[in-house]
């Protein structure tokens, strides 16, 4: 259990690189520890290393999400591209839903 300096209960947060080592582990810990958190994760799933590892991490996040009160929405997209980033705002402004969203491309 980490010391919390801010209360993220019920908040929506954006994690870039959500399928990467740090982003995925952060997503999992936040889902486990914060009630009703909504995480919008964006990742381009680049092939700097084996993409199947990133897909495995996303599957892990989704499995953990189902055991918590939180929500994880994944957008496959480039955080440097405004057209992909618009999907983040679309997801955020439409209110919560347990999966889906639109582009980038949400999975």
Residues 6+ apart with CB under 8 A from 98: 65, 71
Query: Rule CB under 6 A: which of 25-84 touch ligand NAD?
Result: 42-46, 48, 54, 78-80
75: β partners: 42, 106
The stretch among 3-11, 20-28, 31-39, 63-71 that binds ligand NAD (CB under 6 A) is 20-28
Full DSSP string of 32-76: HHSTT-EEEEEE---SSS-HHHHHHHHHHHHHHHTTSS-EEEEEE
The single residue among 10, 21, 36, 102 that binds ligand NAD, judged by CB under 6 A, is: 21
The stretch among 15-23, 28-36, 65-73, 94-102 that binds ligand NAD (CB under 6 A) is 15-23
Does 19 bind ligand NAD (CB under 6 A)? Our answer is yes
CA pair distance 66, 31, nearest whole angstrom: 10
**Residue 33 or 79: which CB sits closer to ligand NAD?**
79
User: Diameter of the chain by CA atoms?
Assistant: 37
Summarize as ranges the residues that interact with ligand NAD (CB under 6 A): 16-17, 19-23, 42-46, 48, 54, 78-80
């Amino acid at each position: 259990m980490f010391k919390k300096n801010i209360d993220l209960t019920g908040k929506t947060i954006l994690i870039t690189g959500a399928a990467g080592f740090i982003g995925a582990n952060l997503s999992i810990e936040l889902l486990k520890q914060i009630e009703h958190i909504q995480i919008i994760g964006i990742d381009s799933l680049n092939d700097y290393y084996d993409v199947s590892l990133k897909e495995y991490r996303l599957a892990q996040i989704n499995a953990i999400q189902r055991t918590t009160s939180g929500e994880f929405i994944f957008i496959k997209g480039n955080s440097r591209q405004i057209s992909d980033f618009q999907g983040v705002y679309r997801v955020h402004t439409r209110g919560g839903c347990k999966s889906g969203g639109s582009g980038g491309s949400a999975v």
